Amino acid sequence: MMGLSLWPLLLGVVPALACGALRAHVCRVARDLWSCGVATLTVGSCLRGVLEIYGTTSMLVEPYMPVGLALLALGLAAGVLGSLREDRDRRKSIAASHRL
């Protein structure tokens, strides 16, 4: 519960500021997957903290970490693939304009 605010801070605010400083365009799918991963990790941390305060455990909180990390990985992969596709399309349009 003490680290509950670290998930959105480290995985939400810091990458958003980095993308803003670099003026990087991230596709919507990548941004949404990343946000879902951050939300999943945050909710899982909150639920685990509530159960620890109550003094019990549950198997229902176990999937939050792997699912959240998988969503983060998918978001990262979608962002990388989107930027590669964007670079390829930009190079094609530059090459086509030079042929004219």
* 37-81 tens-digit pLDDT: 999 999 999 999 999 999 998 899 999 999 999 999 999 999 889
Domain ranges, residue 44: 6-99
pTM here is 0.83
Please check whether residue 87 is in contact with residue 45, taking contact to mean a CB–CB distance below 8 angstroms: no
Please check whether residue 71 is in contact with residue 37, taking contact to mean a CB–CB distance below 8 angstroms: yes
Report the number of distinct structural domains present in the chain. 1
Is residue 30 assigned to a domain? yes
Please check whether residue 41 is in contact with residue 18, taking contact to mean a CB–CB distance below 8 angstroms: no
Is residue 46 assigned to a domain? yes
Is residue 1 assigned to a domain? no
Mean pLDDT of the region 92-96? 77
